[in-house]
Amino acid sequence: MLKIEPRGLESKFWRYASPILALVLTGLTSGLIFAAMGRPAGLTVYTFLIAPLLQQDGLAALVVKAAPLIMMGVGLSLAYRANVWNIGTEGQFTLGAIFAGGVALALPDAPAWIIFPAMLMAGMLGGMVSGGLVAWMRIGFNANEILTSLMFTYITQYLLVYLVTGPWRDPAGFGFPQTAMFSDAAAAPKLIEDSNVHIGVLLAPLIAIGLWFMLEKSLLGFQFRVLGQAPRAARFAGFSEDRLVWVAMLVSGGLAGLAGMLEATGTLGQLTTNISPGYGFAAIIVAFLGRLNPLGVIPAGLLLALSYLGGDAAQINLGLPNAVTGIFQGILLFYLLGCDVLLLHRIKWRRDTVRIAR
Amino acid sequence: MTALLTAFLVSVIAASTPLLLAAVGELVVEKAGVLNLGVEGMMLAGAIAGFATANATGNTSLGLLAALFAGVALSLIFGLITLTLQANQTATGLALTIFGRGFSALLGAGYVGIAAPTLPKLQIPALSDLPIIGPVLFSHDILEYFALVSLSIVAFCIRKTHLGLILRAVGDSHDAAHALGYAVVPIRYAAIAFGGALGGLAGAYMSLSYTPLWAQDMTAGRGWVALALVTFAAWRPFWLLIGAWFFGGLMYLSLYVQALGVPVPSALLSALPYIGTVVVLVMISRDRRRIRLHRPAMLGRSFHARA
């Protein structure tokens, strides 16, 4: 029968091969699901994963979607390394967008050199407030950060609905639940003229590289890794767990807020009731797919961005609901986590040779 | 006044039922030392499976059965990955929620805005006609009774039976339980499947009784509230009931105050149950000693048998 045996040492080969195996298995499984629904499996997988890239501006759309995912995935890698389970990035993203949107609506006539930096700060502050509250509740009151950060996601979503249907609703918007468009000065600077490619596309990989250096080369990063892998050792070494929880929540929250701010100013140009198509949850998958390594998060973010484009393409071309994206993401995370068994274990086919005599 | 009180109590029982069902299931899972964060996903799968089946067959009992199977099926995926493949339970539970949301949205795309049969209220002759007591105690559907029955059975089993002792042993020290000859992994599989079954039924209650329609993400975070309830109750069964009534009451109040036309924006009132969850969680968790005393010691830890 199949036996799972410990290897003793982590396998270098599977460290890189397991995400690829997971991806292949995800493709096969989603193909099977589509086939079971009576769709041509090959065509669906092609529409989902390849067709979006061949479209005009496909690459531009991909990097614009990947930017927020990478920013949030990088922050989460840091937090998860230290066993700080922030799963409320969706809410931190939203609060960042709300704070930045508030600045844009309050200063409609400000010049770009004032308003854009102000929105940048406000967006990060929004995410940090949300993340900081979670850190404060964990440290001061021992409250489980998984539950509090998730509850904040719901609370923030209702706050957004309240604002865009109430005090911040565009008076000239025919009653639609949305704010007025931000001024042109408030728009995120474009990297390419007449496209959606905004400055976030440049910031995301820079942040990833910066945090990689911090995590791998600095004392603080070392403390993060020790706290995650050997909490007792971290305590004996005198590393302050509280301080690391604060840093993890403020950094992951701040980056989520920045991503939300860039989505609001760079892509949408206003606030509506749904500013995030589940980016906060997808970022969790991005972090794991990137092996909790900020550099690995970059390709992972691109892949998850592709799953959003693929969901849209499947909706338009094949009439599938774009919830397909969620299924693909869920299956991918299942396989990623499952395949990691190969890192520390080998699976052997072995007959039970030893039988206890009756 | 009596009419108002009756309506209040009936609504609170209804609002607390899905929370109680899911929380009783998760309690058993956590008592076995496993943290399954996929409750929301299992509830959604149960909600759409129950709704679609009841819609197709016109039979709510078949709907409940389908919901139960959907919940169990999803929970077994979780079991396979965390128990057999020993992956991180937190991350796998999240994956289960993400998958359940997507899966239910895909299956449910054709069912938006369609009606299905609702669970019948079981009327008991004479008793159901009593004033106040009749509607409050004796005219509920089967899941509302079942939630209370399952809580009582689980409470009894955990405290008073050999089975409960084994479950607690597995959750408090899997190595000791293993050394005593108990099959840790199969027992955990069984607990996870039980949690899946009740999670699925909790979802079915949402789509076949509470708001008998299918809508995407219709459980609206109740799976997460149920998870918070287990911590809130400090893993003690009867506190689950108090907690479920409290949160059920908050959910009802947020709707009731909106209906009264009180000049508080409805979106902010809708956030009330979630704010309540955070506040209560913070207040309860402050007592670190009590949490540590009651928390299953192996909660969230993988088990690998050595020899």
Q: What is the number of structural domains in chain B? A: 1
Instruction: Say if B300 falls within a structural domain.
Output: no
Interface probe for B, chosen from A133, A151, A292 (most Cβ of B below 10 Å), is A151
Radius of gyration of chain A (CA): 22
What residues pair up with A5 in beta bridges, in sequence order? Answer: A346
Alpha-carbon distance of A158 to A89, in angstroms, equals: 15
| Nearest residue of chain B to residue A323 (CA atoms) | B102
Q: What is the mean pLDDT of residues A90-114?
A: 91
Alpha-carbon distance of A179 to A271, in angstroms, equals: 5
Which amino acid is it at A277? P
Backbone dihedral region of B235: left (phi > 0), alpha (psi from -120 to 50 degrees) or beta? Answer: left
pLDDT at A291: 86
**Residue B72: CATH number of its domain:** 1.10.3470
Residue with token string 């964060």? B37
Q: How far is CA B170 from the centre of its chain?
A: 22
Contact list, B267 vs chain A (CB under 8 Å): 158-159, 161-162, 165-166
* H or E element in which residue B7 lies: helix B2-31
Range of the domain at B58: 2-294
pLDDT at A161: 93
A147/B277 CB distance under 8 A: yes
Contact list, B220 vs chain A (CB under 8 Å): 154
B99/A334 CB distance under 8 A: yes
Question: By mean pLDDT, which of A318-322, A330-334, B219-223 is the weakest?
Answer: A318-322
How confident is the model over B139-172, as pLDDT tens digits?
Answer: 788 888 999 999 999 999 999 999 999 999 999 9
- Minimal Cβ distance to B87: which of A141, A146, A340: A340
pLDDT at A84: 92
Report chain B's mean pLDDT, rounded to a whole number.
89
Is some CB atom of chain A closer than 8 A to the CB atom of B228? yes
Q: A2-349: what fold? A: ABC transporter involved in vitamin B12 uptake, BtuC (1.10.3470)
Instruction: Say if B303 falls within a structural domain.
Output: no
How confident is the model over A211-235, as pLDDT tens digits?
Answer: 999 988 988 888 888 888 888 888 8
Query: What is the DSSP code (8-state) at residue B296?
Result: -
Q: Which of A133, A90, A72, A119 is nearest to A266 (CA)?
A: A119
Half-sphere exposure of A151 (CA within 13 A, CB side): 27
Alpha-carbon distance of A159 to A126, in angstroms, equals: 13
| Nearest residue of chain A to residue B288 (CA atoms) | A142
How confident is the model over B167-211, as pLDDT tens digits?
Answer: 999 999 998 999 998 999 999 999 999 999 999 999 999 999 998
Question: By mean pLDDT, which of A20-34, A175-189, B268-282 is the weakest?
Answer: A175-189
Q: How many helices (H) and strands (E) does chain B have?
A: 14, 0
| Nearest residue of chain B to residue A341 (CA atoms) | B85
| pLDDT higher than threshold 70 for residue A355 | no
- Under a CB-based contact definition with an 8 Å cutoff, are residues A77 and A94 in contact? no
Provide the b/e sequence for B261-285 (b: ≥16 CB within 10 Å).
eeeebbbbbbbbbbbbbbebbbebb
